[in-house]
Amino acid sequence: MMTIRWLLAVGMLCGLVASVATAGALDECTIKGDHAAVSRCLLDADREAQASLNAAEGAAGTRARELDTVTGRPGANAALARSMRAFADYRKMQCEFVKAMYASGSGADQGMLACRIDLTRRRLRDLQP
């Protein structure tokens, strides 16, 4: 009997940890209150994420140009530029899809903005050296 309780407790704890680890921007902002407060939170988070992305892309560009110079083989900086364009296109299309899935509901704009934040944060992790 004790083993079953222990296993249930461990399972619930794992579920809690997993849900916190996968929480996105919308989850983070929903606790802020009403629709207007959630929208403000998302706008602030989007500005912060985009500013961080701009800085990370600048740093990645510097590293890529240095690599091109050191190796004498251009390519890293051009590849980064293509990657940045592709990411921007993907993020736009994916988040438009997320918005469309709300079927013009009142949370559609928030869902799209949360998508943009979550994908931007993921891209930030990808650009870390």
- pTM metric for this prediction: 0.80
Q: How many domains does the chain have?
A: 1
- Residue 15 covered by a domain: no
Whether the CB-CB separation of 112 and 96 falls below 8 Å is answered with: yes
- Residue 16 covered by a domain: no
Alpha helices for 1-129 (secondary structure H): 2-21, 25-30, 35-71, 76-101, 108-127
Token duo for residue 24: 């996105």
- Residue 34 covered by a domain: yes
Range of the domain at 78: 25-127
CATH number of the domain residue 52 falls in? 1.20.1270
Whether the CB-CB separation of 61 and 128 falls below 8 Å is answered with: no
pLDDT tops 90 at residue 120: yes
Model confidence over 65-118: pLDDT tens digits?
Answer: 999 999 999 999 999 999 999 999 999 999 999 999 998 778 999 999 999 999
- Residue 44 covered by a domain: yes
- Residue 91 covered by a domain: yes
Whether the CB-CB separation of 24 and 118 falls below 8 Å is answered with: yes
